[in-house]
Amino acid sequence: MRRSHSHAARALFAPVLLSAAACGGDGGSAARGLDSPDITISPATDTLYAVGVLDGAEWEMFGRVADVAFDADGTLLILDSDAGHVVVIDPAGAFVRTIANKGEGPGELRFPTSLIVFGDGRIGVRDMGNRGIALFDREGEFLQDVRIDPEGATPSGRLRAMPDHSLIAPARLVSFSPEGGLDREEGRPITRFRLDGSTDLFHEAWSPPPRETRTDEAETGNIRIQMEAGEAFPLPLALGVLRDGRVAIADSVGYRVKLLDASGGLGSTLERPVPPVAVTPAIEAAERERRLASLESGGGGGGGGIMTLSITAAAGAGGGGNPLESEAMQEALRKMREDQIQDLAFPEEMPVIRNLAVDWSDRIWVQRSALPGETGTIDILSADGRYFGSLPTDGLRIPRAFGPGGLLAYVERDDLDIQRVVVVRLMADEQLEGAP
């Protein structure tokens, strides 16, 4: 289903001018080594437009923004999971069309969770309700459904497109035992998913020795959830794809970024002399307090556990909504998470890296971990081992989506708690590479 309108998104031509600064080293060098002291860089940005309002056209009154992405010409795609469609915004900030609608038929979305943009312009929407990926051309015409076998490897993170149009993501293989218990294979595989439905192992991420875990269960009507207790400060498993098909991943306790080739083999590593932080009783108490406060305010309580959803055949007959959103299930989940926070397991050390992403210029953004309630520094690296500098904790963050020409998209909430998507551009893209 496609709808086209000429309504323009509200443009906010309000440049944010930040000085690019350096300290603790030679601020004029754009080719520092990875062992350089931290250098602060604060690139200037220009806010181009924002979309999302309380009262307006149907497309811009977002229910829940599940994901955003850019295509190669700077067109913005916004996945509204409640509406079951993708909103398309042109590079100038004008509304173009919506793609798909809510439903269970071909080309319709039942429980969409994330977006994929392929190099040839095709758009993929991962749909948990239909257990697969809906493929559309860049004009919004439905092409096909790609099924993900629920008995095989299941993506546990965001699917990322490779140059050969395959997809990679951290994955897990979960099944139920005859007694109804949760069985999960050990290890942390990154799996390649192909559009013909086949899968294969791309890379086995580093994994610590297995630990004893607790699994809690909640059941409401025809929905059963089993949740494995998580660990505070879990090992990262973050990845980003470079234009040549190499993949940057962070999967260890130390400051170590692995560069894999397009077949998943290890090519090189990037390391900085930043040690992990020992987890003290005070840090443990602060993390429990932070998670409980998040849960009390309606958040997820910090997450960290693996959750498996089982629905009987009758589920979803009433319209294909999110099966987790019923009041009874939300209360069961809240109680389950509260119990698990009290029994939270802690590692001896906090991993140095929390997150990682790759922008359209192949720069690697590495977000460091921080103490509970604090924000981690973001380092900007190149795949060939240069350190461009670090963004201050009150500066730019890793966006929900990178775009061409220095575009960044962020999902925010305004004073009325209305979701909106804000698009900014780095005013001089090269400023991330060590402007004085």
Print pLDDT tens along the chain (436 aa). Answer: 444 443 444 443 333 333 334 333 334 445 578 999 999 999 999 999 999 999 999 999 999 999 999 999 999 999 999 999 999 999 999 999 999 999 989 999 999 999 999 999 999 999 988 889 999 999 999 999 999 887 778 888 899 999 999 999 999 876 555 555 555 667 899 999 999 999 999 999 998 877 666 666 666 666 666 666 678 898 999 999 999 999 999 999 999 999 999 999 999 999 999 999 999 999 999 999 999 998 888 766 665 555 555 544 444 444 455 555 667 777 777 888 888 888 888 999 999 999 999 999 999 999 999 998 899 999 999 999 999 999 999 999 999 999 999 999 999 998 888 999 999 999 876 656 654 4
Indicate whether 14 belongs to any domain: no
User: Which range of residues forms the domain containing residue 105?
Assistant: 30-426
Indicate whether 223 belongs to any domain: yes
- In this structure, are strands 160-161 and 378-381 parallel, antiparallel, or unpaired? unpaired
224 vs 327: CA distance, rounded Å: 14
Indicate whether 47 belongs to any domain: yes
In total, how many domains does the chain have? 1
Indicate whether 6 belongs to any domain: no
Q: What angle do CA 114, 331, 211 make, to 5 degrees?
A: 70
The answer to whether the beta carbons of residues 104 and 129 sit under 8 Å apart is: yes
Indicate whether 204 belongs to any domain: yes
The answer to whether the beta carbons of residues 236 and 256 sit under 8 Å apart is: no
Q: Which of 218, 226, 268, 216 is nearest to 246 (CA)?
A: 268
Indicate whether 119 belongs to any domain: yes
13 vs 24: CA distance, rounded Å: 34
According to DSSP, the residues that pair with 335 across neighbouring strands are none
In sequence order, the 6+-apart residues with CB closer than 8 A to the CB of 24 are: 37, 38, 39, 40
Which DSSP helix (H) or strand (E) runs through 339?
helix 327-342
222 vs 313: CA distance, rounded Å: 8
pTM of the model: 0.83
CATH of the domain at 344: 2.120.10.30
Indicate whether 321 belongs to any domain: yes
255 vs 270: CA distance, rounded Å: 8
DSSP secondary structure string, 111-150? SEEEEEE-TTS-EEEEETTTTEEEEE-TTS-EEEEEEPPT
DSSP secondary structure string, 349-376? EE-SEEEEEE-TT-PEEEEEP-STT---
- In this structure, are strands 256-260 and 188-193 parallel, antiparallel, or unpaired? unpaired
420 vs 82: CA distance, rounded Å: 14
Indicate whether 393 belongs to any domain: yes
